[in-house]
Amino acid sequence: MLSGSAYLWIKAVHVIAIISWMAGLLYLPRLFVYHCTARPRSETSETFKIMERRLIKAIMTPAMVVAWTLGLVMAVDGGLFSQGWFHLKLACVAAMTAAHFFLARCKDAFAEDRNTRPEKFYRVINEVPTLLMIVIVIVVIVKPF
């Protein structure tokens, strides 16, 4: 069992990691929207490639790993796997992780100048993390079941 102080520090870092991860999940598709309008191999396109790569490698992926790791530590410590609301939260976090990896594949397509999706696709896909976040926050705060 974690001490009260340790638990609070873990929870604080977990929330910081979530905020960082969410920022990336919301920003990366927006970069893709603008990247769609850039001519392949242009200076603008090459700048977007650098921004997208750094966002995923330096911010999003480390934040996701920290969020998952500390979230699981708290879940095990708190015995949350037996609670129904936690199952829904976990499913939404798994979907968020799938979105992360999908966006990473999109980033690879842009990096290789082989993106075939239009701007509108990225505008729509940008809403997925937002919807998942809304469900997660409500489920964690309200604990409806």
pLDDT of residue 74: 97
In this prediction, residue 30 carries a pLDDT of 98
Give me the residue spans of the domains in the chain: 4-142
**pTM for this entry:** 0.95
> What pLDDT score was predicted for residue 59?
98
Give the pLDDT confidence score for residue 40 in this predicted structure: 96
Say if residue 107 carries a ligand binding annotation. no
Chain-centre distance for alpha carbon 136: 12
Find the length of the chain: 145
Annotated binding-site residue? 89: yes
What token pair was written down for 141? Answer: 């705060």
Q: Residues of the chain whose pLDDT is less than 70?
A: none
